[in-house]
Amino acid sequence: MSRLAAGVVLVTAHEPPLDPEGPPGEDVGMTATAFMSVSLDPPLAMVSLREGSRMDDLLAEQPLWAVSVLAESQRHIAGRFAMKGRVSDRLLFEDIPYERGEASGAPLVGGALATLECRTEQRVAAGDHTLVIGHVLTASIPSAEGGPLAYFRGRYRQLA
Ligand SMILES: Cc1cc2nc3c(=O)[nH]c(=O)nc-3n(C[C@H](O)[C@H](O)[C@H](O)COP(=O)(O)O)c2cc1C
């Protein structure tokens, strides 16, 4: 599969606070290439999440999530949200321009080639991953210019 060139997205969701009186909730992000369009009518998209990853655990509880299609200049964002063993994502968002999606409350990365907000419609356990199929609630194009961040043979690439 490393021979299949893929676009790179950041999947995001907002983890609500455990206690509404306590500390605020946290934004969570995960770099992914296993993201695809599924249906046009109704509009559905899907992401495949490693079972037991933080995003898989979060989306088991939180039906609203978002996807930012990363631009070639956003390699550093992909890198930081792919790190294993992170304790918190709070600091990782600090220097990234983002807006909070109106439909999902999830971060939408500024300068991304496209952003989508989704509500989970179906979860399918598939081996050691969960396929999360979402109804697309909103779609926007923050950055009309710029090429995609791609991943091929284990490396980030940009189109020549
Ligand atoms: C280029 C790239 C693509 C990735 N694509 C996926 C993916 O589609 N699904 C997935 O579950 N993890 C994917 N990962 C791994 C996650 O980003 C990584 O496991 C996660 O951020 C680490 O958090 P965790 O410890 O909760 O898994 C990818 C990593 C990289 C570098």
Tens-place pLDDT, residues 74-117: 999 999 999 998 888 999 999 999 999 999 999 999 999 999 99
Is 84 a pocket residue for ligand 1 (Cβ < 6 Å)?
yes
Asked if the structure places residue 25 within a domain, the reply is yes
Q: Which two tokens stand for residue 7?
A: 């676009």
For ligand 1, say whether the CB of 123 is within 6 Å of any of its atoms: no
> Hey, whose CA ends up nearest to atom 31 of ligand 1?
82
How far apart CA 49 and CA 30 sit, in angstroms, is: 9
pLDDT of residue 22: 87
DSSP state at residue 138 = E
Whether residue 72 lies inside any domain: the answer is yes
Omega into 42 within 30° of 0, i.e. cis? yes
Strands 64-69 and 9-15 come out as antiparallel
Is residue 121 within 8 A of residue 135, CB to CB? The reply is yes
- Tell me how far apart the alpha carbons of residues 147 and 80 are, in angstroms, rounded to a whole number: 20
Residue 60 domain flag? yes
Query: Measured from the CB, is residue 3 less than 6 Å from ligand 1?
Result: no
Residue 96 inside a domain? The answer is yes
| Ligand 1 pocket, residue 34 CB under 6 Å | yes
Q: Report how far ligand 1's centroid is from the alpha carbon of 29 (Å).
A: 10
| Sheet architecture: strand order including 114-126 | 26-32, 9-15, 64-69, 114-126, 129-140, 44-50, 35-39
Asked if residue 65 has its Cβ within 6 Å of ligand 1, the reply is no
pTM: 0.97
77 lines ligand 1 (CB under 6 A): no
Is 160's pLDDT higher than 90?
no
Q: Residue 81's pLDDT is what?
A: 98
Q: Is residue 11 part of a domain?
A: yes
Q: Ligand 1, from 47, 48, 53: best to mutate by most atoms within 8 Å of Cβ?
A: 53
Instruction: Name 125's bridge partners.
Output: 130
Domain count for the chain, please give it. 1
Quick: pLDDT tens for 9-34.
Answer: 999 999 999 898 988 899 999 999 99
> 48 in ligand 1 pocket by Cβ < 6 Å?
yes
- For atom 23 of ligand 1, which residue has the closest CA? 84
Establish if 1 belongs to a structural domain: no
Rounded Cα distance between 82 and 50, Å, is 12
Share of the chain above pLDDT 90, in %: 91
- What is the pLDDT of the chain when averaged over all its residues? 96
pLDDT at residue 87, rounded to an integer: 84
Ligand 1 neighbour 8 (Cβ under 6 A): yes
Cis (ω within 30 of 0) for the bond into 107?
A: no
Q: What angle do CA 106, 100, 112 make, to 5 degrees?
A: 85
State the DSSP H helix or E strand holding residue 4, giving kind and residue range, or none if neither.
Answer: none
CATH number at residue 65: 2.30.110.10
The Cα 143–Cα 141 span in angstroms is: 6
Residue 92 per-residue DSSP state: G
Residue 56's domain comprises 6-158
